[in-house]
Homo-oligomer: A and B are copies of this chain.
Amino acid sequence: MNDRHEQWQAAERLALTLIEGGLQRMSARTLAVFLFTDQESVTAGEIADRLEASAGSVSGAIKSLLTVGLIERLPAPGSRREHYRLRDDAWATLFTSQNTVIQAMLQAAAAGIAATETGDPAHQRLTQMRAFYAFLLGELPALLNRWHQQNT
């Protein structure tokens, strides 16, 4: 129990969940490695070995995880290899990034409202849609504040 094999299985299952959450396959598997590694930081080569994936696809995954702010590149400790690690606020960041979709919904609804006449059934539906996403967008900053305070 609690051996490496069991951890590996848990990591792969977690990767599948991350894919559900919208990450791409290799990004999700890479993120799982960052979560489950024993070490403080990992290199691209180590990830490729662990996942039995090509250096190319790992490179792409790291780039995308860096872009959304889930991992960070560490000040190189004199080594030739780049070291990366999971960022402290990774999960809040992931949640926030997914909320850009909410903003897009809001804007799409507004565009629809502008394109329809007041009183149109479509106009009413779109107004309801906009109201919901406006509400959500308004609530989220306070939500994340509560998290950061509780998590201090």
Residues of A participating in the B interface, judged by any CB pair closer than 8 Å: 2, 6-7, 9-11, 13-14, 17-18, 20-22, 34-40, 86, 88, 90-92, 95, 101, 104-105, 107-109, 111-112, 114-117, 120-122, 125-126, 128-129, 131-133, 135-136, 139, 143, 146-147, 150-151
Query: If the complex has contacts A20-B104, A133-B91, A147-B135, are A10 and B111 also in contact, measured as CB distance less than 8 A?
Result: yes
- CB proximity of A126 to chain B, nearest CB, Å: 6
Q: Say whether A21 contacts B101, CB under 8 Å.
A: yes
Chain A contact residues: helix, strand, loop or mixed: helix
Q: Say whether A108 contacts B17, CB under 8 Å.
A: yes
Query: Roughly how many angstroms separate A14 CA and B122 CA in the complex, as a whole number?
Result: 13
- CB proximity of A140 to chain B, nearest CB, Å: 9
Of B35, B111, B117, B128, which is within 8 A of A14 by CB?
B111
